[in-house]
Amino acid sequence: MEGCKFPGLEARGELSRRQFSALLCGALASAAGPLPVLAQSGNGLPPIIGFLGATTPAVWSTFVAAFLGRLRELGWVDGRNVMIEYRWAEGRNDRYAEFAADLARRNVAVIVTAGTGPVISVMKATSDIPIVFAAAGDPIGTKLVASLARPGGNVTGLSNQQTDLAGNRLELLREIVPGLKRLAVLGNVNVPNVTLEMSEIRSIAPRIGVEIVPVEIRRTDDIVPGIEGLKGRVDGLYVCTDPLITTYSVRINTLAVGLKLPTVYAFREYVRSGGLLSYGPNFPDLFRRAGDYVDKILRGAKPADIPVEQPIKFDLIVNLTTAKALGLAIPESFLIRANEVIE
């Protein structure tokens, strides 16, 4: 991993639109100025944005607040000149298709989601309604778009570079765990970008003398036995991002700490729930930028012509409480580089 660069681092179900918006928009209301007269749907009503959340309102509250905040800045206010319909899959892969089909039947103006699994489900539900993904692991590798510059079809959005940053995470974990020789990689192999990420780690690890122990999961019941089976076998745990994992992150981290396994993740929410380390794009910023995509589409732009963009903000997060529980001393030089240290 010599010469590896770290971008941005230097030295069940439904929640009503009104309920969820009330929770998130109260703090934003005072910022609203006069609203422009904007596009309406074909029936004379405000356009509807369908929002398919892969996990829960609580888990995604920060992300949705960032998205709604940007829409407001651009002149779109839920309940005034646009309507938002939310569906929450709660980390259950089997619900993506159900909710995607429901939103498509409602003939919404655009559907917003994040994660490869949800995006694929929405793509299967409609080839006409514009789709914006706030974050997707490998849009080309998972065939969400034809290219980054010219997505084609009805889909566009933002890449979270999940596969591209796998090596960076591995290198960062080695800094904290210098004796790292055997690394477990936990991933939901039902998700295409997760299988790509696991493959990337398997290709990198031998070059730096690390042996990989894959832990493949497909459903909730696989998580606990998969982690418990690692006892005494590995020196650390790399966890691939996916809505199923996100929903059960507290349980995963509790198990990992109990087994004295340092963990590395893709974004900060996992570390706030007890993981050791995360490195990846700033997800609130990705969801905020998704608001720009929705604005363009509501004003007439075609997804096929809106390029897929990359992250511009990256976060390194460390949980010192977890480090102490694991008996790890984090070097001061590492802490200085961190964007956030949780104590």
Q: pLDDT value at position 17?
A: 46
Tell me whether the CATH fold assigned to 17-160+283-314 matches the one assigned to 166-281+315-342: yes
* Residues paired with 113 in a beta bridge: 133
Banded pLDDT at 8 (limits 50, 70, 90)? low
* Cβ-contact 99, 68 below 8 angstroms: no
Whether pLDDT at 306 is above 80: yes
Residue ranges per structural domain of the chain: 17-160+283-314, 166-281+315-342
pLDDT per residue as tens digits for the range 138-170: 899 889 999 999 999 999 999 998 888 999 999
| Cα–Cα distance measured from residue 334 to residue 82, given in angstroms and rounded to the nearest whole number | 45
Asked if residue 44 has pLDDT above 50, the reply is: yes
Percent of the chain with pLDDT over 90: 75
Rounded Cα distance, 111 and 246, in Å: 22
Q: What are the tokens at 31? A: 């910022």
CATH code, residues 17-160+283-314: 3.40.50.2300
Per-residue pLDDT reduced to its tens digit, 49-77 = 999 999 999 989 999 999 999 999 999 99
Q: Which is nearest to 157 in space by CA: 180, 181, 140? A: 140
Q: Is 8 exposed, middle or buried (0-12, 13-18, 19+ CB in 10 A)?
A: middle
Report field, pTM of the whole predicted structure over 0.85: no
Write the CA distances from 277 to 84, 148, 163, 205, integer angstroms: 34, 29, 17, 18
DSSP 140-179: TTTTS-S-SS---TTEEEEE--TTTTHHHHHHHHHHH-TT
Per the model's pLDDT, the better-predicted residue between 23 and 180 turns out to be 180
Q: Could you tell me the two tokens for 197?
A: 């990420």
pLDDT at 110: 98
Instruction: Say yes or no to pLDDT of 13 above 50.
Output: no
Task: Say which CATH superfamily domain 166-281+315-342 falls into.
Answer: Response regulator (3.40.50.2300)
* pLDDT range class, residue 92, cuts 50, 70, 90: confident
**Local structure of residue 34 (DSSP, 8 states):** P
Helices (H), the chain: 17-25, 61-73, 93-105, 116-125, 166-176, 192-204, 223-228, 243-247, 249-258, 268-272, 283-298, 320-326, 332-337
- In angstroms, the CA 18 to CA 25 distance is 10
Structural contact between residues 265 and 271, judged by C-beta atoms closer than 8 angstroms? yes
